[in-house]
């Protein structure tokens, strides 16, 4: 019998994605620990990482980081494959799609703040649609649209500003050590 | 103002669009107020006003026969109606202010009203 050795060869790109995802997961855990009055309203701090990754490394890396964050964050919070996980997944997928379009906007005029606001609205519309179709099949849900939209706008601006400021003041931020 | 300096011109535009969307969503989602009562009309005249907080069933004698209307858990629906197409029955539960079910053949209608009178859904 030959002994088989499984060897994973990792590229510097893999290391970078893993480190960035770890940062995002850390923020996702902090996010979950912050108490807020309405279920579903969260600051979405880990999106700051997504925004910075988007600006630094492009959309494909952002998809990796965001996807790993959703899955690993779900596992760590014990909600993997639960409704909360699918809500988070739907939100992430929709905001990534919108971000893919948003980064094509001219950078001179539209920065991380715009991306963040657009992504936040995409996130909440995806979640509301999933909730309407699957979890709460009832139009009364739309009573909550103004609250969710306002929260999305507020947290979208705040996260976008934080990302923009980190990008401006720390040019090396998240230039992960890939040795 | 170091934070404000981070806003690019387009960011202001996107923020403004976001604010107007939020501002518009409040009246759109909440225009009717909270559903308070169901007004039942027969032949254009008010037949009964039901308080939505009390479950009950009422029978309305119309042109063709009896239309049964039920209030349950702050909702109201037409349970049965002698009309041919059963449109008002198939509408199911009405629960938001302004919603209305009309059993035209029997000349019976039921509408949910909130605390304050607003437009009815027909006048739009």
User: What is the predicted pLDDT for the residue at B33?
Assistant: 63
Q: What is the CATH number of the domain that holds B116?
A: 2.60.320.10
CB contact under 8 A, A145 and B95: no
pLDDT of residue A172: 72
For chain B, give the mean pLDDT. Answer: 85
User: What ipTM, to 2 d.p.?
Assistant: 0.83
List of chain B residues whose C-beta atoms are within 8 Å of the C-beta of residue A117 = 11, 14-15, 18
Number of domains in chain B: 2
A37 in contact with B, Cβ within 8 Å? no
Would you call B3 and A161 a contact, using CB atoms and an 8 Å cutoff? yes
Please check whether residue A54 touches B, CB under 8 A. no
pLDDT tens-digit readout, B59-90: 999 889 999 999 998 889 999 999 888 999 99
Interface membership of B20 toward A (CB under 8 Å)? no
Res. B115 pLDDT band, cuts 50 70 90: low
- Phi and psi at A153, nearest 5°, equal -65, -50
Residue B44 confidence class, pLDDT cut points 50, 70, 90: confident
Contacts of A149 in chain B (CB under 8 A): 18, 21-22, 25
- Whether B5 has a pLDDT exceeding 70, the answer reads yes
User: How far apart are alpha carbons A113 and A150 in whole angstroms?
Assistant: 15
- Structural domain that includes position B70: 35-123
SS3 B19: helix
| pLDDT less than 50: residues of chain A | 178-179
- Based on the fold, state whether residues B15 and B48 are members of the same structural domain: no
Predicted pLDDT of residue A49: 94
What's the confidence (pLDDT) of residue A178? 46
Predicted local confidence at residue A92, as pLDDT? 94
Residue A16 domain boundaries: 12-169
Confidence class for position B120, pLDDT limits 50, 70, 90: low
Rounded Cα distance between A88 and B105, Å, is: 49
Asked if the Cβ–Cβ distance from A146 to B18 is below 8 Å, we say: no
β-bridge mates for residue B71, sequence order = B56, B76
Residues B91 and B39 placed together within one structural domain of the fold: yes
Residue B55 touches chain A, beta carbons under 8 Å: no
Residues B48 and B11 reside in one and the same domain: no
pLDDT at B121 over 60: no
Choose among A113, A143, A146: nearest Cβ to B11: A113
């Amino acid at each position: 019998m030959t002994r088989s050795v499984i060897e994973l060869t990792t590229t510097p790109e893999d290391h970078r994605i893993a480190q960035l995802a770890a940062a995002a997961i850390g923020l996702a855990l902090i996010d979950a620990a912050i108490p807020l009055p309405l279920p579903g309203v969260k600051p979405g701090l880990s999106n700051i990482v997504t925004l910075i990754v988007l600006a630094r490394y492009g959309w494909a890396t952002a998809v990796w980081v965001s996807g790993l964050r959703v899955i690993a964050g779900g596992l760590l919070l014990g909600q993997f494959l639960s409704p909360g996980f699918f809500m988070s997944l739907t939100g992430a997928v929709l905001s990534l799609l919108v971000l893919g379009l948003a980064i094509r906007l001219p950078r001179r005029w539209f920065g991380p703040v715009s991306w963040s606001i657009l992504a936040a609205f995409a996130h909440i519309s995806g979640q509301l649609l999933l909730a309407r179709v699957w979890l709460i099949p009832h139009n009364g849900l739309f009573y909550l649209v103004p609250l969710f939209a306002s929260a999305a706008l507020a947290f979208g601006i705040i996260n976008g500003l934080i990302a923009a400021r980190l990008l401006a003041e720390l040019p090396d931020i998240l230039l992960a050590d890939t040795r | 103002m170091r934070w404000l300096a981070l806003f690019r011109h387009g960011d202001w535009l996107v923020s403004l669009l976001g604010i107007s969307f939020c501002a518009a969503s409040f009246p759109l989602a909440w225009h009717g107020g909270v559903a308070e009562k169901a007004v039942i009309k027969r032949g254009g005249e008010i037949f009964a006003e039901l308080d939505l907080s009390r479950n009950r069933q009422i029978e309305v004698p119309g042109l063709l026969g009896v239309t049964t209307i039920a209030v349950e858990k702050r909702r109201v629906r037409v349970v049965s109606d002698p009309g041919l197409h059963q449109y008002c029955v198939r509408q199911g539960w009405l629960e938001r202010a302004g919603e209305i079910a009309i059993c035209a053949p029997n000349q019976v209608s039921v509408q949910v009203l909130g605390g304050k009178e607003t437009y009815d859904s027909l006048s739009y």
